């Protein structure tokens, strides 16, 4: 006779292998039924030791033999037929007859092996649940209720009615697989578990895997003695049986200890699966051992199907209701963004900007300028947050309802920013949108201290992990968290921010276009001015040249006479002509220099410029009883300092030159900020200018007076205009003959750097 061996997994569960404890191959079963494994020829390759408790046969009598030896020929044929036509989704359980008794038999395949799990009917017959009534009740309930919570309560109550367990709980997992008792039906005299939370370590990863593969699990009695599954020793030394799909499968000793610590004797667990993930469990507890028959288990499983079929529908419906609200706000904001140039201020003045994500505050950073609404952190905190986001978030967006878990420093401003949705509006956080949510402190009721869910214990075998002994209410207060962001809220934020980003980009393009348009206009006017050089040669330069040539010719002709008077006169005119040409050439060179100055734009102290001007011209003005008054000029200006100094020097020189002999000279320099430019005025109470010449005088060589009246080249104001043009500003004049002149100059606060 062949030697037999058991296949019990004998390795110890210790601290190192707890998570990998191979519970799918325990090699033992619970005793409320027995197990047979068959090869394809119906020979028995596995047999649980307890077969003799149910049939008049010992394992060694049947191992290696054909199963037909156990039954009548007719029963063997029925079994063969059942196995051959077996469909795991369709076939009902097989009723196995043995010497006048009936057994319920479940079949599944494990590798090459056909596994039969055979249980007696507890009361000797096969009680069939009233599935029709169960369905009808469920459908009518479904029509009445919308709420997922209500539905779960109903399922808990119904499942308890069907199965008779002391307690039925609907367990719901969060994203980390911590479970919460979401609904409960229980015996009146036991304490409620509703609202309690269980840490994810209570159901380790491999147990969750099994819940996904095998949707129902019965543990009839935690105090059971495991029954070894036996096989023939000579078959294959490493032979083992994967029992993942087995219903009788033995239970992990850790789980048994856990249930014992809870005081529970029997359990039934049904997996609730949504989108191929474990959404939750229907967990039934009994405080004394309880075996429920196969068909009752199926009825309970049906409740699980009812519920999972509705979870997605209810959750989607809830989300849909939220989306509809949010979309209304989003539409309003999108319209503003697409229609208004000043849309940032406009969307911030609408409540929709907060409602679109149900946030408490919002920040829009545009080119480093902060615009806010509602509850937002202090400026320094925002700076730090933006800095962190810039360094740590490479994606376009980031959101969290527990910001401080990512960015520790955020705990210091958790009051306003426990939760954020961030979206960049460009490449850097200098352009971004952030919605903020305030802190919502909450208390989680854990069933026992979650940090001590598994504890190290020392027993005669050494160290091992053991589940906690105490399930006493353990309150944890959770800080630094806001309400969770829901999917429609995050989606709306992303859609709006993307739109804002595009719109800002378009506006920017428009602005750039405008700048280039202005630049090209300036180029055109520069060309026009260049053209006005043409008549330099024809008039201004020719006039003194003619003078020189007349007097030198005369000089040549008259030289013999050596008329001293004539000689002096001619040489005076020649010198005068040469000096005027010299001045003209110098002025022209200077004019030309303005456009070619390579000095870069800088921010400089305007005060320094006027201090120098005052020190040069002050004494001369005061000598004649006049005054130079510098009023509200900006401290700093962006531009080419030497040119700006020349601009004001020319204007003040003119004011001095064209002063009125009738009154002491008054020069006032003032400035005022308007939008994005400075408007300067330089006013005097001199001889004034007639309105009709107001434009002409800015052209090269344009003068209103003769050389005899006032010296000059007619280039001073042309140079001024060129300097102002170069700085993208404007210059014009308001003059009043015999009263005075006021020159207006605008200079942009931030001029565009020349190409």
Which positions touch ligand ADP (CB under 6 A)?
654-655, 658, 684, 686-689, 697, 702-705, 712-718, 741
Comparison of 611 and 690: residue with beta carbon closer to ligand ADP: 690
**Minimum CB separation from ligand ADP for residue 417, in Å?**
59
- List residues bridging with 103 in a β-sheet: 96, 120
Nearest distance from residue 350's CB to ligand ADP, in Å?
A: 52
* CA distance from start to end of the chain: 101
> Looking at beta carbons only, is 292 or 687 nearer to ligand ADP?
687
CB of 588 to ligand ADP, least distance (A): 12
* Closer of 568 and 705 to ligand ADP (Cβ): 705
Between 183 and 697, CB nearer to ligand ADP = 697
- In the DSSP assignment, the letter for residue 483 is P
The helix (run of H) or strand (run of E) holding residue 281 is strand 277-286
| Least gap, CB of 607 to ligand ADP (angstroms) | 23
Q: Which residue number, 433 or 594, has a Cβ lying nearer to ligand ADP? A: 594
Q: Hunting for tokens 């529908």 — which residue is that?
A: 313
Assign residue 290 a region: left if phi > 0, alpha if psi is -120 to 50, beta otherwise?
beta
CB of 618 to ligand ADP, least distance (A): 18
Q: Which residues contact 413 (CB under 8 A, 6 or more apart)?
A: 377, 378, 381
Strands annotated E in 62-136: 94-98, 101-110, 113-120
- In Å, how far are 97, 131, 246, 283, 356 from 359, measured between CA atoms? 67, 48, 50, 37, 8
User: How far is the C-alpha of 79 from the C-alpha of 68, rounded, in Å?
Assistant: 9
Nearer to ligand ADP, 437 or 703 (CB): 703
In whole angstroms, the minimum distance from the beta carbon of 717 to ligand ADP comes to: 3
Which run of H or E residues covers position 284?
Answer: strand 277-286
When the beta carbons of 573 and 659 are compared against ligand ADP, the nearer one is 659
Q: What are 365's strand-pairing partners?
A: 370, 432
CB of 590 to ligand ADP, least distance (A): 11
- Tell me which residue of 50, 607, 89 sits closest to 305, measured CA to CA: 89
d(CA 249, CA 260): 18
Q: At closest approach, how far in Å is the CB of 361 from ligand ADP? A: 55
The closest alpha carbon to 370, from 361, 384, 358, 382, belongs to 382
Please state the closest distance from residue 715 (CB atom) to ligand ADP, in A: 6
> Which CB atom, from 507 or from 589, has the smaller least distance to ligand ADP?
589
For the bound state, the minimum distance from the C-beta of residue 593 to ligand ADP, rounded and expressed in Å, comes to 16
Rounded distance between C-alpha atoms, residue 284 and residue 297, angstroms: 11
Q: Which residues pair with 433 in a beta bridge?
A: 364, 423
14/736 with CB nearer ligand ADP: 736
Judged by CB, which is closer to ligand ADP: 33, or 688? Answer: 688
What is d(CA 22, CA 7) in angstroms, rounded to the nearest whole number? 13
Helix (H) or strand (E) holding 633: none
């Amino acid at each position: 006779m062949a030697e037999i061996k058991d296949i019990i997994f004998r390795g110890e569960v210790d601290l190192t292998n707890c998570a990998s404890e191979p519970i799918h191959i325990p090699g033992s079963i619970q005793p409320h039924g027995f197990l047979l494994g068959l090869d394809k020829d119906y020979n028995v390759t596995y047999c649980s030791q307890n077969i003799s408790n149910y049939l008049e046969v010992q394992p060694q009598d049947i191992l290696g033999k054909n199963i037909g030896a156990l039954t009548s020929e007719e029963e063997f044929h029925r079994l063969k037929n059942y196995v051959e036509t077996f469909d795991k989704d369709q076939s009902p359980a097989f009723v196995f007859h043995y010497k006048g008794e009936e057994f319920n038999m479940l079949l599944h395949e494990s590798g090459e092996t056909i596994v039969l799990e055979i249980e007696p009917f507890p009361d000797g017959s096969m009680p069939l649940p009233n599935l029709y009534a169960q369905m009808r009740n469920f459908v009518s309930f479904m029509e009445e209720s919308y709420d997922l919570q209500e539905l779960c309560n109903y399922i808990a109550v119904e499942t308890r009615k069907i199965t008779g367990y002391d307690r039925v709980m609907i367990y719901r997992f969060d994203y980390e697989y911590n479970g919460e008792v979401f609904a409960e039906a229980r015996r009146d005299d036991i304490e409620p578990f509703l609202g309690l939370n269980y840490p994810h370590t209570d159901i380790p990863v491999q147990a969750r895997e099994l819940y996904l593969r095998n949707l129902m699990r019965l543990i009839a009695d935690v105090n059971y003695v495991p029954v070894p599954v036996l096989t023939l020793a000579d078959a294959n030394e490493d032979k083992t049986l994967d029992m993942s799909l087995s219903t009788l499968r033995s239970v992990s000793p850790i789980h048994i200890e856990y249930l014992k610590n809870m005081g529970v004797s029997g359990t039934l667990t049904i997996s609730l699966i949504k989108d191929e993930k474990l959404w939750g469990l229907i967990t039934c507890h009994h405080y004394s051992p309880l075996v429920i028959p196969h068909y009752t288990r199926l009825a309970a499983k049906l409740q699980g199907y009812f519920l999972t079929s509705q979870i997605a529908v209810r959750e989607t419906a809830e989300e849909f209701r939220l989306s509809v609200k949010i979309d209304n706000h989003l539409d309003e904001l999108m319209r503003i963004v697409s229609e208004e140039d000043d849309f940032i201020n406009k969307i911030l003045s609408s409540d929709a900007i907060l409602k679109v994500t149900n946030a408490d505050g919002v920040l829009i950073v545009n080119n480093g300028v902060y615009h806010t609404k509602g509850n937002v952190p202090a400026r320094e905190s925002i700076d730090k947050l933006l800095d962190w986001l810039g360094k740590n978030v490479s994606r376009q967006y980031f959101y969290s309802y527990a910001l401080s878990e990512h960015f520790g420093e955020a705990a210091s401003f958790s009051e306003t920013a426990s939760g954020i949705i961030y979206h960049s509006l460009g490449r850097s956080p200098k352009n971004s949108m952030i919605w903020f949510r305030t802190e919502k402190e909450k208390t989680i009721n854990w069933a026992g201290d979650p940090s001590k869910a598994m504890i190290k214990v020392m027993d005669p075998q050494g160290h091992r992990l053991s589940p906690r002994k105490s399930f006493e209410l353990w309150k944890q207060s959770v800080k630094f968290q806001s309400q969770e962001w829901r999917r429609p809220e995050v989606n709306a934020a992303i859609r709006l921010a993307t739109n804002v980003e595009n719109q800002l980009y378009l506006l920017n393009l428009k602005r750039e276009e405008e700048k280039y348009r202005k630049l090209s206009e300036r180029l055109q006017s520069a060309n026009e001015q260049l053209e006005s050089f043409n008549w330099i040669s024809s008039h201004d330069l020719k006039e003194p040249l003619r003078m020189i040539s007349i007097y030198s010719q005369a000089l040549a002709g008259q030289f013999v006479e050596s008329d001293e008077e004539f000689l002096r006169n001619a040489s005076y005119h020649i010198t005068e002509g040469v000096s005027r040409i010299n001045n003209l050439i110098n002025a022209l060179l200077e004019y030309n220099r303005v456009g070619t100055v390579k000095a870069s734009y800088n921010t400089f102290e305007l005060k320094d410029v006027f201090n120098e001007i005052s020190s040069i011209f002050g004494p001369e003005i005061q000598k004649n009883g006049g005054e130079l008054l510098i009023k509200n000029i900006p401290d700093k200006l962006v531009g080419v300092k030497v040119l700006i100094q020349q601009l004001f020097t020319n204007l003040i020189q003119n004011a001095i030159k064209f002063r009125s002999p009738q009154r002491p000279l008054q020069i006032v320099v003032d400035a005022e900020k308007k939008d994005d430019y400075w408007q300067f005025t330089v006013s005097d109470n001199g001889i004034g200018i007639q309105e009709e010449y107001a434009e002409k005088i800015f052209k090269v060589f344009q003068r209103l007076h003769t050389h005899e009246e006032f010296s000059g080249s007619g280039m001073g104001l042309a140079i001024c205009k060129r300097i102002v043009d170069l700085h993208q500003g404007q210059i014009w004049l308001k003059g009043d003959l015999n009263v005075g002149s006021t020159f207006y100059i605008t200079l942009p606060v931030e001029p565009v750097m020349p190409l």
